Structure 1
Amino acid sequence: MNILLTGGNGMVGKNILEHAGAASHALLAPSSAELNLLDGAAVAAWLAAHRPDMVIHCAGVVGGIQANMAEPVRFLVDNMQMGLNLITAARAAGVGRLMNLSSSCMYPRAAANPLAEELILAGELEPTNEGYALAKIASTRLCEYIRKEEPALLYKTVIPCNIYGRHDKFDPKHSHMIPAVIKKIVDAKLAGRAAIDIWGDGTARREFMYAGDLADFVFYAIDRFEAMPQNINVGLGHDYTINEYYAAVARTVGFDGAFEHDLSKPVGMKQKLIDDRKLAAFGWKYATSIADGIQQTYDYYMNEVRRG
C-alpha cells in the first residue's frame, strides 16, 4: 500500500521507518516543512495529490511532565489541530484506512488499573498532562464518529503505553522519563556525583514499552486491520515503580551512588497500567524486556547522541 506516515522524524515514526515491515509498503513520510498538519488546506491538497491508501498518524507535540506543565496551550491546541485536520481531510479524500496513534494518558486519573479501552472520558483527567490528553481524546472520538457514520471507513485508534527507545529525546525539558533518567545518571557518573534526585517518593508505577516493539505492532496491525478493535491498548500488561526504573538504569550505566527523593515535585498519576486483554485476543505480544530496552536505549544515547 501507499501509506502516509505523519511524524516520520519523531521517535515512533523513525522506528516504523526502520522496521523490516516498511519494505513491504510505499511509506510516504513528509517532513513538517513539506506537510504542515496545522494548515488544513495544505493537508487536504497533499492528500488529493498523493492519494494514499492508508494514513498512520504519529505526529504530535510530545514530552514529559515538565514539558506538559510548561506549555499546556501548545500541547492542547497543536495536537488537537493536527489530529482534526488530518482525520477530516482523509475522510474527505476517501482514504479508506487510518491508524490514529493516541496515548494512555487520556485515561481518567482515578480509574481503577488496569485501564480498559472503555474508560475513555469516564472521569477527570490527570492535570499535569490534561491538554495533551484532551487532544488525543478528540482524535480518538472523531475516528469513532466517522466509523459510526461511514462503517466502510476503517478509522481506528492505537493506545500505546509510555514509549522509549532509539531516536528518543534526552533533553530533560522535553524528554520522557527513561531517556531523562539515562542522561541524568550518565551525567552523574561522569561528574563523580554521590547522589541523584528522584521526583516524589518513587513509588508511582509506570508501564514503558520499547519503541521498536510499537513499530512491530503497527505492521502486525496493518496486515490485520479489519480485525483490529476500534480502540486497542498496546503495552506490556505489567508495570514497575519509578524507583525500579532508576535502579535498572543505574545498573546499566554502572552508577553506584545514592538516590534522594524530592517530595516537593509533582509525580503525575500514581499508576497508569493498560488492560491488555484485547491486545492478547488480537494475537500480538511485545518482544523486548525492560532490561534489554534500557540497554539498547543507553547504547543509542552513548554511541549516537553523545557522539553525534
Structure 2
Amino acid sequence: MTTAPALLPPSARVYVAGHRGLVGSALTRYLTAEGHEVITRTRAELDLRDPEATAAFLRDARPDVLVLAAAKVGGIMANSTWPVDFLEDNLRVQLSVLAGAHAADVDRLLFLGSSCIYPKHAEQPIREDALLTGPLEPTNEPYALAKIAGISHVRSYRHQYGRRWISAMPTNLYGPGDNFDPETSHVLPGLLRRFHDAVAGGSEEVVLWGSGTPRREFLHSDDMARACTALLRAYDEPDPVNVGCGEDIAIAELAALVAEVTGFGGRIVWDTSRPDGTPRKLLDVGRLRKLGFEPAVALADGVRDTYRWWLEHKDS
C-alpha cells in the first residue's frame, strides 16, 4: 500500500513571502519554533512584482512549501485613495509568485486572501460559498477583486496541474508588527494610534469615522499563524477556508476597549459623514474548526499585547 506524502513534513523548507508583515512575521516565528527552516527575502532584496527575478529566486531556493502573505494592504482611507495601486500591485505579486512557484515545482502553497472578497450584504456568518453571490463593498472593491483573482488562480493550478495549493481567507487581523500609520492602517491599530496620540496631546475628544455600529471580527496574528500551519498540515481542497474566531464586536465597543487600554478618558465623537463600510462581517469558521483549530488569544488581551508592542517599537 502506497502512503500519500505528508502535506507539511517536519523537514519542509518554507518560503514565507512577506515575512516582515503582520501575518508573515508571526508565521515565521511559529514555523521556526516548530523546527522548520524558513526562507525569507526583504522587499529590497526581491521585488515580488518582478516575475523574472521572482522566478529566478524560487528556482534557486527550491522551497518545499510557499506561503504568499505578501500584499499591499490598508484601511478604508488607503483603499479609497489608491485603488489602482491596490489592484495592480496585488495582481502583479500574485501572478509573479504563483507562476514562479509552479516553474520551480513548489507543490504545496498557501495563498492568503481577505474576508473583503465576500459580498457587502452577505448572509451572516459568511460561508465560503457566498463568494461571487453579490456586489462587493465599494470602498475596497479593487483590492477584493485582486484577491478573488488569486483564489481562482490557485484553483486553476490545482485543476490543470494537480498542485496541492490552497487558499485561506482571514478576518481582520491585528498584533505585534502591525501598521500604525495614521493614513494606511487598518481599524484596530488605527484606533490605538488615534487614542494614544489624544492622550499624549492632552485632547479631550477623539473623532472617529462612521457611526460606530458596524460589527467586525478580529483575530490575533499569533492565532493566524497557528491556523495557517494547521491548514498546511491537514487541508487539501480547492475551496478557500475562512480563518477567524467566530465572534464579532461593534466598532463603538472596540473604540471603548481601545480607550480603556490607552488610558483615554475623554469623549468619542462619530463623524457620520464618513463611510461605515460593510455593515457586518463575521465569518463562518466551521471548516477550520473541523481541523481542530480554536483561537487562543482573547481580544482584550490581544489589544493590550499589541499596544505594549507598539509602545516598545514606535520610535524605531
TM-score, with structure 2 as normaliser = 0.93
Q: Identify the residue that residue 9 of structure 2 maps to in structure 1.
A: none
Q: 2: distance between equivalents of 1:235 and 1:97?
A: 22
Kindly state the Cα deviation for residue 233 of structure 1 after the two structures are TM-superposed: 0.4
Q: Identify the residue that residue 96 of structure 1 maps to in structure 2.
A: 107
Of residues 250, 253, 256, the one that matches 1:244 is 253
Q: Identify the residue that residue 294 of structure 1 maps to in structure 2.
A: 303
When structure 1 is superposed on structure 2, of 189-198 and 264-273 the one drifting more is 189-198
Name stretches of at least 5 consecutive residues in structure 2 with no aligned partner: 1-11
Check conservation: 1:64, 1:177, Cα contact below 8 A: yes
Alignment of 1:39-78 (within 5 A): 39-78=50-89
Q: 2: distance between equivalents of 1:121 and 1:35?
A: 33
Of residues 270, 278, 284, the one that matches 2:287 is 278
After superposition, the CA RMSD in angstroms is: 1.4
Kindly state the Cα deviation for residue 143 of structure 1 after the two structures are TM-superposed: 0.6
Kindly state the Cα deviation for residue 142 of structure 1 after the two structures are TM-superposed: 0.8
Kindly state the Cα deviation for residue 219 of structure 1 after the two structures are TM-superposed: 2.2
Q: Identify the residue that residue 228 of structure 2 maps to in structure 1.
A: 218
Q: Identify the residue that residue 182 of structure 1 maps to in structure 2.
A: 192
Q: 1: distance between equivalents of 2:149 and 2:250?
A: 30
Q: 3-state DSSP class of the match of 1:56?
A: strand
Q: 1: distance between equivalents of 2:51 and 2:31?
A: 32
Amino acid at match of 2:164: L
Q: 2: distance between equivalents of 1:260 and 1:107?
A: 30
Kindly state the Cα deviation for residue 23 of structure 1 after the two structures are TM-superposed: 4.5
Of residues 138, 153, 160, the one that matches 1:127 is 138
- Aligned pair count reads 305
1:193 aligns with 2:203: yes
Q: 2: distance between equivalents of 1:42 and 1:168?
A: 27
Q: 1: distance between equivalents of 2:65 and 2:31?
A: 18
Kindly state the Cα deviation for residue 194 of structure 1 after the two structures are TM-superposed: 1.4
Check conservation: 1:16, 1:22, Cα contact below 8 A: no
Q: 2: distance between equivalents of 1:34 and 1:22?
A: 25
Q: Identify the residue that residue 116 of structure 1 maps to in structure 2.
A: 127
Kindly state the Cα deviation for residue 82 of structure 1 after the two structures are TM-superposed: 0.5
Amino acid at match of 1:214: M
Q: 2: distance between equivalents of 1:3 and 1:123?
A: 36
CA deviations 1:259-300 (Å, max 9, x no partner) are 111011011101111111111112101111110010001101
CA deviations 1:205-260 (Å, max 9, x no partner) are 1111111110121222233244x673110101110011011001111112111111
Q: 3-state DSSP class of the match of 1:287?
A: coil
Q: Identify the residue that residue 18 of structure 2 maps to in structure 1.
A: 7
Name stretches of at least 5 consecutive residues in structure 1 with no aligned partner: none
Kindly state the Cα deviation for residue 33 of structure 1 after the two structures are TM-superposed: 2.2
Q: 1: distance between equivalents of 2:31 and 2:69?
A: 18
Alignment of 1:224-263 (within 5 A): 224-226=234-236, 230-263=239-272
Q: 1: distance between equivalents of 2:33 and 2:110?
A: 15
Q: 1: distance between equivalents of 2:48 and 2:154?
A: 17
